[in-house]
Chains A and B, each alone.
Chain A
Amino acid sequence: MLLPRGLRIALRVATGLTLAFIYLPIALIVLYSFNSARVASWPIAGLTLDWYGKAFANAGVRNALLNSVEAAIGATVVSLILGSLVALAVQRHSFFGRQTLSFVVVLPLALPGIITGIALNTALRTIGVDFGLLTIIVGHATFCVVVVFNNVVARLRRVSRTAEEASMDLGADTFQTFRRVTFPAIRSALLAGGLLAFALSFDEIIVTNFTAGVSTQTLPLWIFTNYQRPNNLPLVNVAAVVVLLLSIVPVYIASRLTDDPAAVAGARG
């Protein structure tokens, strides 16, 4: 598109400034995690790796990290299974309520997280389930299903059915066709969806706050309960960087795996 030169430059500057606005706070938290002073004043006093050592030696942080990893793996596995099942059903069959089902899958991510959180909290309390890692996984998986679903549906839409039909015509049964034709076609979409699910789960706090109970802490929950304790501030910075890394790296890999990253953006929150 032909734009006046001045406007073109202005747009480029605006883009640069917006990117700086988005990334500076993120860069700052990484810098603060290496701050040698205990307080978060600016400019930072000096650089040190000490807090990383202290954070990983801290039982609370280690425990929370372990819980977060377990919760994220659990949520990823559940959402991979459920998400791809729904995607196959919606994309390969027509049935009453198909549109509604696609909507229900998106709902946990479209509704404000606090609603999902309280609803699950109320239900779990009513049934009498003990809060803990399992209930965290239940909460996370509920809103992670949609990212797997989105990725797999987008891929299935692009993969022609003729390959599956040819496979069936050549004598392969439903399972063989899935294993040899459908699965290889959706494999990278599953991987991308799984990575996004892991990332979503790993840094989640809004729903987790309602489904974790008092005795189980994920890393974000540990940050949330410690950010006001001046003594723990340097450790909170380190924990924040760990959460950031373990959510941003999977998202980056996932974005490289999908053909059109914007198409799988969907909703969250």
Chain B
Amino acid sequence: MTALAQSPGPGPSADLPPPVGRLRGLAIALYRRPRAQLGLLLAAPLGWLVIAYLGSLALFLITSFWSVDSFTGNLVTTPTVENYVAIFTTDVYRTIAIRTLVMAALVTVTCVVVAFPIAFYIARVASARRRGILIVSILLPLWSGYLVKVYAWRLILAQNGVLNSALGPVGLHGPGYSDAAVWLVESYLWLPYMIIPIVAGLERIPSSLLEASSDLGGRAGMTFRRVVLPLAFPAVVAGSIFTFSLTLGDYITPTLVSNTRFIGNVVYDFVGVAGNQPLAAAFAMVPVTIMLVYLVVARRLGAFEAL
């Protein structure tokens, strides 16, 4: 800003009123040069997001081809594919990757099933006033308290916690800290991310289509299967991007409510405990690659228009 204010630029021309302040002069100079205006607007954000953030991501990709000297613990920058070889040939890593993928799929399916009825109610049944209240009450937990919610579930699922004392009289037992607990908590955490897109998708379905279906003799079930579901499908895919991606990368939930390791836990340990950044980067490429493929497929299915 100051640099530009000091640079001369074209002075005020003759047809303009003479007393022109420095700020006004700058404004005129900028008005005449939309490109410079754009440059000023974009300099800081581009510097931050493109250079710092994308630069970090690029460096992260590059480090996945580096290695760690086993004696000194220093980074060796000679390119090698040994990290990728290790990940694809070690059984443990493969098991963990598949486990994470299955978990993400299970969580996504669960979220769709649980989200649909409430989304349908919000979008097509509730009055306008109630609709607003409901949307806000879905958005509040979507935006806030991620760690707090996982921690709350840790208390609920504890040996002498709420769930076991509620199920005890019926002779049942909660999942404790286990894979089932991870499934439950991840589904809980990401449910709002599925509800909101489905609400938006259902709202976009013209009422005339539903009326036409029932005029033609389609009962509620038939209308749902043949009209509502196909039209809401892109919205479901849009929601699944979040539920899938967020489950793939989560390492906090498995740490708090299970003893099982998922991709995120392994990656976290590689960075922290093992101090092996290159191996962490290579393993983290697994969820990144899965998400890129997922996004391409989701785009084909029309999910981006539904966002």
Q: List CB contacts (< 8 Å) of A217-263 with chain B.
A: 220, 223-224, 227, 236, 240-241, 243-244, 247-248, 251-252, 255, 261-262
Question: Is B245 a contact of A118 with CB atoms below 8 Å?
Answer: no
A82 in the interface, Cβ–Cβ < 8 Å? Answer: yes
Complex CA gap A244/B143 in Å reads 10
B residues near A104, Cβ cutoff 8 Å: 49-50, 53-54
Chain B residue with minimal CB distance to A175? B27
The 8 Å CB contact of A112, one of B54, B154, B248, B277, is B248
The 8 Å CB contact of A248, one of B145, B207, B251, is B145
Chain B residue with minimal CB distance to A176? B27
Cβ proximity bits B263-287 to A, threshold 8 Å, 1 near / 0 not: 0100110010000010011001001
A residues near B162, Cβ cutoff 8 Å: 28, 42
Take A240-B148, A252-B140 as given contacts and tell me if A118 and B281 are in contact as well, using a CB distance cutoff of 8 Å.
yes
Smallest CB separation, B61 vs chain A (Å): 9
Most A C-beta atoms less than 10 A away, residue of B26, B135, B249: B249
B residues near A42, Cβ cutoff 8 Å: 160-162, 164-166
The 8 Å CB contact of A28, one of B156, B271, B291, is B156
Cβ proximity bits B133-163 to A, threshold 8 Å, 1 near / 0 not: 0111111111111111101111110101110
Smallest CB separation, A183 vs chain B (Å): 14
Complex CA gap A179/B84 in Å reads 54
B residues near A241, Cβ cutoff 8 Å: 148
Question: Is A262 a contact of B60 with CB atoms below 8 Å?
Answer: no
Question: Is B145 a contact of A205 with CB atoms below 8 Å?
Answer: no
The 8 Å CB contact of A119, one of B57, B188, B210, B291, is B57
Chain B residue with minimal CB distance to A263? B200
Complex CA gap A41/B165 in Å reads 9
Take A42-B162, A82-B49 as given contacts and tell me if A199 and B118 are in contact as well, using a CB distance cutoff of 8 Å.
no
Question: Is B48 a contact of A82 with CB atoms below 8 Å?
Answer: yes
Question: Is B160 a contact of A41 with CB atoms below 8 Å?
Answer: yes
Question: Is A227 a contact of B151 with CB atoms below 8 Å?
Answer: yes
The 8 Å CB contact of B155, one of A32, A86, A175, is A32
A73 in the interface, Cβ–Cβ < 8 Å? Answer: no
B residues near A95, Cβ cutoff 8 Å: 38
A residues near B57, Cβ cutoff 8 Å: 115, 119
Q: List CB contacts (< 8 Å) of B73-120 with chain A.
A: 114-115, 117-118, 120
Complex CA gap A7/B228 in Å reads 15
A113 in the interface, Cβ–Cβ < 8 Å? Answer: yes
Cβ proximity bits B284-298 to A, threshold 8 Å, 1 near / 0 not: 100110010000000
Q: What's the interface size class on A, roughly?
A: 35 or more
B216 in the interface, Cβ–Cβ < 8 Å? Answer: no
Question: Is A145 a contact of B45 with CB atoms below 8 Å?
Answer: yes
A128 in the interface, Cβ–Cβ < 8 Å? Answer: no
A170 in the interface, Cβ–Cβ < 8 Å? Answer: no
Complex CA gap A115/B248 in Å reads 11
Take A15-B122, A199-B143 as given contacts and tell me if A115 and B284 are in contact as well, using a CB distance cutoff of 8 Å.
yes
Chain B residue with minimal CB distance to A252? B140
B residues near A126, Cβ cutoff 8 Å: 59
Take A112-B249, A261-B136 as given contacts and tell me if A119 and B160 are in contact as well, using a CB distance cutoff of 8 Å.
no
B residues near A204, Cβ cutoff 8 Å: 146
Question: Is B118 a contact of A18 with CB atoms below 8 Å?
Answer: yes
Q: List CB contacts (< 8 Å) of A113-170 with chain B.
A: 113-116, 118-123, 125-126, 138, 141-142, 145, 168
Complex CA gap A3/B196 in Å reads 22
B residues near A14, Cβ cutoff 8 Å: 117-118, 121
A8 in the interface, Cβ–Cβ < 8 Å? Answer: yes
Complex CA gap A15/B155 in Å reads 25
Chain B residue with minimal CB distance to A146? B49
Q: List CB contacts (< 8 Å) of B236-257 with chain A.
A: 241-242, 245-246, 248-252, 256
A residues near B143, Cβ cutoff 8 Å: 196, 199-200, 247-248, 251, 268
**Could you list 14 further interchain pairs (A-B, Cβ under 8 angstroms) beyond the known A18-B114, A29-B155, A93-B41?**
A3-B220, A11-B121, A18-B118, A22-B138, A42-B161, A93-B38, A101-B49, A107-B53, A111-B291, A112-B288, A113-B249, A115-B284, A243-B148, A255-B139
Residues in chain A within 8 A of chain B (CB atoms): 1-4, 7-8, 10-12, 14-15, 18-19, 21-23, 25-26, 28-29, 32, 39-43, 78, 81-83, 85-86, 88-89, 93, 95, 101, 104-105, 107-108, 110-116, 118-123, 125-126, 138, 141-142, 145, 168, 173-176, 196, 199-200, 203-206, 209-210, 220, 223-224, 227, 236, 240-241, 243-244, 247-248, 251-252, 255, 261-262, 265, 267-269
Cross-chain pairs A/B with CB under 8 angstroms, 27 sampled: A1-B124, A1-B210, A3-B125, A10-B117, A14-B121, A18-B191, A21-B191, A22-B137, A41-B165, A42-B165, A85-B42, A89-B38, A104-B53, A107-B53, A110-B245, A111-B245, A113-B249, A114-B287, A120-B53, A122-B59, A122-B60, A123-B52, A173-B27, A203-B147, A252-B136, A267-B241, A268-B143
